[in-house]
Copies of this chain bind each other. A is one copy, B any other.
């Protein structure tokens, strides 16, 4: 069996997505397949830092405002990933824009709480997304795991899962319903990556599903 995939998890908040990834590593579908090598937080004092420390991962805080230029900031981020020998960086509620260097192309994933290309782009994060979905009166929303490129929410899609949305929903209720699916989609995408089943061609992610049972609803 190959060594576990070394994950770098980037976060800006409560660390719920990191918790979910850790849960899947600890006896779930990522057991033996992945480990969290490093956590990078975009600010001090957030719960995600404590989650990472409790899991025994190296935790760093890298603040955008400590760098004049985005290039230097991005390079500082990438160097931390290098040092931790990260195979795959996972954005997990990470709100700071950084430029993915060429050596990490195809090795940075994000999860977006809507069905891209709807409700993506700059400023579309967290509750803003769910508010926009409800303001449009959508009956279906969902989540999208995608590779990160240097354009907001425009990278190749790995997985999407849908949920119903209702006119009577609050953004909080819709967010909770979407998050349940995020907790399925992100580990599943990481697993596919760890198993070498993802192939990128012409901006499209192809999934090698040989010998693979597609999970219900995916």
Interface residues of A (CB under 8 A from B): 115-119, 134-140, 142, 144, 156-162, 164, 167-168, 203-207, 218
Contact = CB atoms under 8 A, between A and B. Distances in A.
A157 B142 contact: no
A142 to B, nearest CB: 6
Contacts of A140: 115, 142, 160-162
A206 B166 CA distance: 8
Nearest to A139: B160
B115 A168 contact: no
A135 B204 CA distance: 7
Contacts of A164: 218
Contacts of A159: 139
A64 to B, nearest CB: 29
A71 to B, nearest CB: 29
Contact of A118 (B118, B135, B204): B118
A47 B117 CA distance: 35
Name, among A134, A160, A205, the residue most crowded by chain B CB atoms within 10 Å (CB to CB). Answer: A160
Given A207-B167, A218-B164, A136 B157 contact: yes
Contacts of A119: 117
Nearest to A147: B137
B157 A137 contact: yes
Contacts of A204: 134-135, 137, 167
Contacts of A158: 139
Contact of A205 (B115, B137, B205): B137
Contacts of A218: 139, 164
Nearest first, the 3 closest Cβ-Cβ pairs linking A and B are A139-B160, A137-B204, A162-B162
